[in-house]
Amino acid sequence: MSGVFQFYRRQEIWIIYFFNPKLEECQKFKDAYIEVSERLYGMIKVGAIDCLEEEELCEEFSVYDVPRILIFSENMQDDGDKFEGKMDANSIMNAAAKKMQSFVSVVSESNYDSFVERDRATKHKILLFTEKKTTPTIYKALSKRYLDKLTFGEVKKADEVLCKQFGITEFPTIMAITDPENQIGEKYEGEMKIDQLTKFLGNYAYSTPKKLDVTEFMQLTEKKMKKGGANSLCGPNSSNICVIVFTEEETEKELLEQL
């Protein structure tokens, strides 16, 4: 098997297909497995072992009947789980995705402030707005790839308030937050493909989040105050000099800048 040494040093989920090219069942499944490999490129490793040529290797994995699929976690001590589902691309990919680690936080209106404050000085925040119940495989993979550089969250379509604040009308939408207080960010406009997303996220993974300074303003509502919304600007660990302006009606930003 090409890449067998990489498998033994793995840090990703692996799917391995054990087959005999002379069996009709294996021949019919070939195209479906190629589809699995193409769709999971860059997210989950996909390999195959020809047990006709690599009999000893198949025995090493305790595979004596083919076709057989084993799914392995990132743990190198894992002996793999036998895939017992329907032999089609979607079923195999879903089974593998369930074993993936996810570093994605569920973000809602109630915990949004705490989410954006997490590692605020060092990590940009990335949000996925989705109508799906489970986290997409590609988003899980990206959350692990950029674990030390970005903070990932997902907002469900049912959270209408947060979706409206960010101006989200289409799902899925991925956004890099550029102004957390005013719910402003840069939308990803490309296809949901790993290479294109990696290029987009790289702009934020290797840059420092913008710092708030004295020329910037945050509207403090009653809800934000109760949830500690001012702590990011004027909390006990902040070195900022803060001025709070109380008005009876909405004040233009240009007027405040003259103060």
CA 259 to chain centre: 43
CA nearest 139: which of 128, 148, 150? 128
Query: For position 171, what pLDDT does the model report?
Result: 97
Is residue 172 reached through a cis peptide bond, with omega within 30 degrees of 0 on the bond before it? yes
4-97: CATH architecture? 3-Layer(aba) Sandwich (3.40)
What pLDDT digit, counting tens, does each position of 19-35 carry? 999 999 999 999 999 99
- Strand 173-179 and strand 124-130: the pairing is antiparallel
Residue 9 confidence (pLDDT): 86
pLDDT means per 10 residues, the chain with 259 residues, are 76 96 96 96 96 96 96 92 96 96 96 94 96 96 97 97 96 97 95 96 93 60 59 56 67 55
pLDDT of residue 26: 97
Q: Is the pTM of this model over 0.85?
A: no
What is the separation, in whole angstroms, between the first and last Cα of the chain? 70
Question: Considering only CA atoms, which of 187, 156, 184, 194 is closest in space to residue 173?
Answer: 187
Q: Kindly report, residue by residue over 139-158, the tens digit of the pLDDT.
A: 999 999 999 999 999 999 99
Joined together, the tokens standing for residue 15 give: 């799917």
Give the pLDDT of residue 252: 54
CATH topology of domain 104-205: Glutaredoxin (3.40.30)
The pair phi, psi for residue 108, each rounded to 5°, is -135, 175
Q: What is the pLDDT of residue 243?
A: 72
Q: What is the pLDDT of residue 255?
A: 57
Q: Minimal CA–CA distance to 124: which of 177, 200, 190, 184? A: 177
Report domain extents, the chain: 4-97, 104-205, 222-256
Residues whose CB falls within 8 Å of the CB of residue 167, separated by 6 or more in sequence, listed in order: none
What is the distance between the alpha carbons of residues 79 and 71, in angstroms, rounded to a whole number? Answer: 9
pLDDT the model gives residue 6: 84
Could you check whether 4-97 and 104-205 share the same CATH topology?
Answer: yes
What is the rounded CA–CA span in Å between residue 171 and residue 157?
8
Structure tokens at 101: 């680690």
The DSSP secondary-structure symbol of 87 reads S
For residue 214, the model assigns a pLDDT of: 47
Total count of residues recorded for the chain: 259
Amino acid at 142: L
